[in-house]
Amino acid sequence: MIFDKQGQLIQGDNNAVLRHLAENDVKVACAYLDPPYNNHDRLHHYRDSLDDDVWLDEITACAELVRDLLEDHGSLWISIDDGMMHYLKVRLDGVFGRQNFVTTIVWEHRTSRENRAVFSNNHEYVLVYARDLKQFKKYRNTLTPTPEWLARFKNPDCDPKGPWQSVSATAQGGHATQSQYYGLECPDGRILHPPKGRCWTLTESRMKAAISEGRIYFGKNGGGVPRIKKYLSEAKGGLTPHTLWKADEVRTTADAKKHILSVSQDMAVFETPKPEELIARIINIATKPGDIVLDAYLGSGTTAAVAHKLDRRYIGIEIGDHIATHCVERLRSVCSGEQGGVSKLTNWRGGGEFAFTRHA
Ligand SMILES: C[S@@+](CC[C@H](N)C(=O)[O-])C[C@H]1O[C@@H](n2cnc3c(N)ncnc32)[C@H](O)[C@@H]1O
């Protein structure tokens, strides 16, 4: 397959196109799948109403083809809601092996309350699988520290090592060794023992060394319980990704709809777009610039648009004619410097090229 442009948009059934990619030895670092959830909604652009077993067979077949396209450090991320999540998880465990299951992300896809329902459903899931968990662990990126996280580091005692935040100096006693139970001598002369069922996190000799280096905080007046200082200057890398993705971090479906409406009025009727911020977080964790990102259910083209802005190569597959009316139009707009979604965050200025083909 000739990959002479940054992106390839391909109209066709993903099963056939994925086989074609495999025949051409294409390898991808990250695949994002957002299939119809099969919850029998009436949608403008695609059917969402199959027999559950037929639906599961289709997605499983797609996941198998995608698995074989992944690099050794590659990963599959698949969006799903409550209806089919547990059935899909069992199938995907079969495809990737349970040892390669990475995590389930909970995404707050809606912030308003749905009052007509028995329960207002405010979250969806993203299941994450690695081709090989050990390789993925080495390859995956951490998250850039947020201003909120940085703001947690303060320096109330003018510590020369700079701003710090404190963590508990005790831990659950379950796995402790005898050397973690002792009377801790505080600078003001008090002797403290860990609370019942807990132990000190540091052994006595390490605790003494930490106290003499000023790494233990005993409160403003020195009479409080000890806490361990964690210095900003010693924090390694970025933030370990967590599994709860709130709307204020990665936006909602409603935000995504507003965004694509701002790109073109014609896209307004696409009911199920994902926010660019959600996809950007996935791509940022799973890939590096220049890597190939694959989306086999492209929909309105969100994954392609974000990959383009983040300087990744990408392949987007979509069966419906909206690939021409939505995805191609959206990517043209991105190339011209469109400023919605993650454009400001990524300092997007426009540029680059993509190809659009139809798979015979
Ligand atoms: C939920 S939407 C994806 C939305 C997308 N993530 C976005 O942000 O716009 C699912 C898409 O998968 C497409 N689709 C369904 N079956 C497909 C197949 N076999 N091959 C390719 N695309 C398919 C549908 O036409 C629909 O556009």
Please tell me the predicted confidence (pLDDT) of residue 82: 95
Q: Which of 252, 295, 243 is nearest to 277 (CA)?
A: 252
| CA pair distance 166, 140, nearest whole angstrom | 27
23 CA from centroid of ligand 1 (Å): 23
**What is the 47 CA–ligand 1 centroid distance (Å)?**
9
Q: Tell me which residues have their CB closer than 6 angstroms to ligand 1.
A: 13-14, 34-36, 45-46, 272-274, 297, 299-300, 302, 317-320
- 3-state class of 291 per DSSP? coil
Q: For a substitution probing ligand 1, which of 15, 250, 298, 323 has the most ligand atoms within 8 Å of its CB?
A: 298
Which residues pair with residue 28 across a beta bridge? Answer: 70
**Amino acid 2: pLDDT:** 62
Query: What is the residue whose two structure tokens read 């074989």?
Result: 68
For the chain, the distance separating the N- and C-terminal CA atoms, rounded to the nearest angstrom, is 14
Positive/negative CA dihedral, 73, 74, 80, 85: negative
147 Cα to the center of ligand 1, angstroms = 35
User: Which residue ranges make up each domain of the chain?
Assistant: 7-144+238-358, 147-234
Task: Transcribe 306-352 into DSSP letters.
Answer: HHHHTT-EEEEEE-STHIIIIIIHHHHHHHTT--STTTTTTT-----
Q: Which pLDDT score, from 0 to 100, does residue 268 have? A: 66
Tell me, in angstroms, the distance from the centre of ligand 1 to residue 344's CA: 27
Q: What is the architecture, at CATH level 2, of domain 7-144+238-358?
A: 3-Layer(aba) Sandwich (3.40)
Residues of the chain with pLDDT under 70: 1-2, 43, 48, 268
The pLDDT of residue 1 is 60
Q: Which long-range contacts (CB under 8 A, 24 or more apart) does 244-248 make?
A: 244/105, 244/106, 244/108, 245/105, 245/106, 245/107, 245/108, 245/126, 245/278, 245/281, 246/108, 247/108, 247/109, 247/110, 247/111
